[in-house]
Structures are given as C-alpha cells and as structure tokens.
Amino acid sequence: MRLGSCFLVYQDMRILLKIIVVALLTALLCVQCTTKELIPPNVLLILVDDLGFSDLGCYGGEIKTPHLDKLASGGLRFTQFSNCARCWPTRATLLTGYYPQQIGRDNAPGIEGGGRGIRPDWAGMIPRYLKDAGYRSYHSGKWHIDGMPVENGFNGSYYLADQGRFFSPKKHYKDDEKLPPVEIGTGFYATIEIADRTIDHNFGIHNEQGRCRIRRR
C-alpha cells in the first residue's frame, strides 16, 4: 500500500508539474503578444570642466540654467556622484568604466598616468559595446584621452583639440579627419560650435561649409 501510494503521488506530481509548465508557457506567450516593444532610451551625457554640482539651477544654484533644468526634469538626477577631480581621468572613467589608475590615465605609486599612460587593450570604450545593443554614439567637444573618437567606437565626432582658442582654433577634427584652421574674425565661438555639432549629429543637417543650419531666436 505504501509503495502504491507513493507511486500514485509521484504520478500525480508529474501531471501537476506538466500542468504548471503548460500554464507558465501559455502566460509567457500571452505577455509577449500583448506587451508593446520596449524602446531603448536615448542617453545624453554632458561633461563640463570646472563646474560644481550646485552651479546649476536644478541643484539650487543662483545661475539661471533653464535648458539644463529642463533636461534634468525629464531625466535622471544623481544625489551621489564622484568624479576624478581632473578632466582626463574623469573622461577615462566615464568612457571605459575603470578607475583611471587601472588604465594608465592617472598617477599612482608605480603607475605612470596622464598623457603618458598607455590604456590597455582590454579597456575598450563604451561606444564599442553600445553598438552591440543597437546604439549609435556621437561625440562633440573636447576629447583629452588617448586615441581618436571614431577610432574608439563613436559613429561620428567633432573633436576640438585646440580648446584654448575659443574664437580661432587651429586643431579640430571631424570624424577623426583634420579640419582647416579657423580664421580670426569669422564669428566662430567654440561653445556654440560644439552645441551645433551635437545637434548636427542628431539631425545630420549640413550646409556646404559643413556647419549645421540652425535658426536661433
């Protein structure tokens, strides 16, 4: 009787498990059929040198920054965030996900960093990995890390290498190709150019000079 009872219980459990599996599969199929396709979010990362977190209006600053405040209201706002105190180590960390000392972008005992450091081959930049997820990545502005933007996975780039000359840079690049120097008195201003190129990456609007056609109020 005990053996028979155990066998009957075992048979009942097998039937119950089959019913549960079929029910789960049916539920998953229904979810797949009724759930809308998830669209990956767009990501805009703005790295600003020499800016304190409380300088922006959305963090209580006295300076009016309505456009940045609008971005913050529709995005994520960090309450705990640390940087590397200088531009090139911070860029290296954001673009690779490693501490700058790990990849030769900052000094530490026995490690030569900064501009002389060599980033290891295993420390690839994030845009290369984002491609596998279906993203296109673009860069506009200062680079200040080894290599070139497109070479390191960006789909497009405006690289202002001569960031000390706001009105007449002599070294700047588009998609890793050097552009002609900008003459003094042409109305060029680096901050506006970087913003224009960012919008240009998004909409792909060029005129014959390669500048973005934007109507400003």
Q: Are 146 and 116 in contact (CB under 8 A)?
A: no
Find the catalytic residue in 67, 84, 87, 172.
87
Concerning whether 144 is annotated as a catalytic residue, the answer is yes
Find the catalytic residue in 6, 33, 58, 144.
144
Q: Is 7 helix (H, G, I), strand (E, B) or coil?
A: helix
CA distance 139 to 154: 7
Q: Tell me the pairing of strands 156-160 and 138-141.
A: parallel
CA distance 54 to 152: 33
- H/E element, 174: strand 172-174
Q: Are 112 and 93 in contact (CB under 8 A)?
A: no
Q: Is 183 exposed, middle or buried (0-12, 13-18, 19+ CB in 10 A)?
A: exposed
Concerning whether 201 is annotated as a catalytic residue, the answer is no
Residues forming the active site? 87, 144
